[in-house]
Amino acid sequence: MPPAKLDPQAMARRAAGFIAPGDVVAVDSGLPSLVPGVTPPDLGAWFLRNNGMLNDLPLSLADAAAVTRGGYVDLAVVNAGQVDAAGSFSSLISTVHSGPNPPGNAVDLAAGSGRVIAMLPHADDQGRPNIVATLSSPADGLRCVSAIITDIAVIEVDSGGLTLAEVAPGWSGNDVRALTGADISISPALREMDFSPPTGVPPSKVYPDGPSAIADVPDGATVFIDGFGGPGGMAHYLLISLRDQGSRDLTIVSNTAGIARVVSFGTPPGRTAIDHSVLIENGQVAKAIASFPVSPSVSRPSEFELAYRRGEVDLELVPQGTLAERLRAGGAGIHAFYTPTGAGTLIAEGKESRNIDGRDYILEYGLRADFAIIRAHKADTNGNLVYRGTSRNFNAVMAPAARVTVVEVDEIVEAGQLDPEEIVTPGVFVQRIVKRPDAFTGYE
């Protein structure tokens, strides 16, 4: 009599063992949906489900797909029907469905995740292998699976093919090989599966002050800076911290290039607004990508205008809506898009153009940055953000598009204390949180 096969809960526990502290894990329907329930909460993992829920946060399906495409998913666990020797897979529903191939979100998970694990029975109901040399259904993901968890084994996949790494209790390597429909090597370190839960806690996102949060911004970095026209919604404390840190040759991306100081919206008498000008005055900026880089008053030019006239900085001018969309596209993993905005104007010079349905469009590229310094009203320790009014402006689209997003807030609360319906920016997009000092203002 053959040894017992693993039940779905045991398979889920083994899959949970691949999760590291703080990982963002996208779980498919079926077997993968069991993984969150067997993962220790202290691990701090984020689980993205195929209905759009990110832990307790409801996302639109478009936003959920953007999390995956934008490169934020560390691990995807897919509900496979078949996996081949190259690590390509067909989803379970694609395998059993007799009509048009209905992959659901499997294609998104395959294309956008750091690692992909496939969960499936080792054989189907008729005893035919599900690990095969060639898929019998169209692939939903090509050469993307790095590990396979079945009810009898864990199989590693790399450029050399399949390697049996672990077996379920009571099973031997030869037993598994006999039920596998593709060539498979047996690891010399073959071992029995370990179902111990993963351990560890993610590092804290809360930093003690602004200087420590931006200390590693290097020379030549691209930095997103939030803000609209006046001082509202701008990370003033982090701007001063970056000025004092002294990084040079920065490319800054922002709606303006520092006009709050010259327009004086709401600035108290005798004070000067803190804006991008503090970096430009300090000789730290090499280029600005902005939609409104000049002062509305000819008689009061901004620091950026003066530096531009002297030939000290470069400028890439972007219409405001296009800037917002370039930021959104960058964060959502969309490399480029066509827009009619700017077609036939100076904005279109040097850009690819295309006529679509009788209208001219120009090609614009998504924007990514090394760092974003943004402002929010409140954060929890997981990095979930709540904004106040229109000060949200460019913050919410900048956060997902930066490798490191640093947020300056008025208040930090414990995880779980924010109403999920208030949260605009999920914490998966935020790496560092700094509380603005109580006595600090946006003015010098």
Q: In this structure, which amino acid lies at residue 139?
A: A
Is residue 94 a part of any domain in this protein? yes
- Give me the CATH number covering residue 16: 3.40.1080.10
Q: Which of 128, 159, 192 is the last residue of a domain?
A: 192
List all residues 6 or more positions away from 328 whose beta carbon is below 8 Å from its beta carbon.
397, 400, 401
Which amino acid is located at 30 in the chain? G
Give tens-digit pLDDT for 327-363: 999 999 999 999 999 999 999 999 999 999 999 999 9
259 falls in which pLDDT band (50, 70, 90)?
Answer: confident
297 & 152 share domain: no
Could you tell me which residue, 323 or 269, shows the higher pLDDT? 323
Confidence of residue 227 (pLDDT cuts 50, 70, 90): confident
Same domain, 177 and 221: no
Residues listed for the chain: 444
Same domain, 320 and 417: yes
Instruction: Give the strands of the sheet with 385-386, arranged side by side.
Output: 385-386, 378-380, 411-413
Q: What is the pLDDT of residue 97?
A: 65
- Same domain, residue pair 23 and 158: yes
Pair 304, 172 in one domain: no
- Residue 57 shares a structural domain with residue 21: yes
Is 277 part of a structural domain of the chain? yes
Q: What is the mean pLDDT of the chain?
A: 93
Boundary residue ending a domain (162, 192, 222): 192
Please give the Cα distance from 64 to 68 (Å, whole number).
Answer: 7
Whether residues 185 and 277 fall in one domain:
no
* pTM of the full structure: 0.92
**404 assigned to some structural domain:** yes
Residues 96, 58 share a domain:
yes
Residue 442: inside a domain, yes or no? no
Listed range (141-145, 272-276, 375-379) with the worst mean pLDDT:
272-276
Residue 203: inside a domain: no
- Identify the band that residue 294 occupies on the pLDDT scale cut at 50, 70 and 90: confident
DSSP 419-430: -TTT--B-GGG-
Residues 6+ apart with CB under 8 A from 253: 222, 223, 224, 225, 288, 289, 290, 323, 327, 367, 369, 398
**Statement: residue 265 has pLDDT above 70:** no
Regarding whether 388 and 348 lie in a shared domain, the answer is yes
Whether residue 281 sits in one domain with residue 173: no
The tens digit of pLDDT for each residue in 134-187 reads: 999 889 999 999 999 999 999 999 999 999 999 999 999 999 999 999 999 999
Residue 197 included in any domain: no
Q: How far apart are CA 390 and CA 72, in angstroms?
A: 27
User: Which domain covers residue 165, as residue numbers?
Assistant: 8-192
Number of helices (H), then strands (E), belonging to the chain: the values are: 12, 25
pLDDT above 90 covers what percent of the chain?
A: 82
- 200 domain-assigned: no
8 A C-beta contact, residue 73 and residue 48: yes
236, 184: one domain: no
Instruction: Decide if 276 is inside a domain.
Output: yes
Q: How many CA atoms lie within 13 A of 5 on its CB side?
A: 14
175 and 243 within one domain: no
The tally of domains found in the chain comes to: 2
Helix, strand or coil, per DSSP, at residue 67: helix
Tally of CB atoms within 10 A around 349: 8
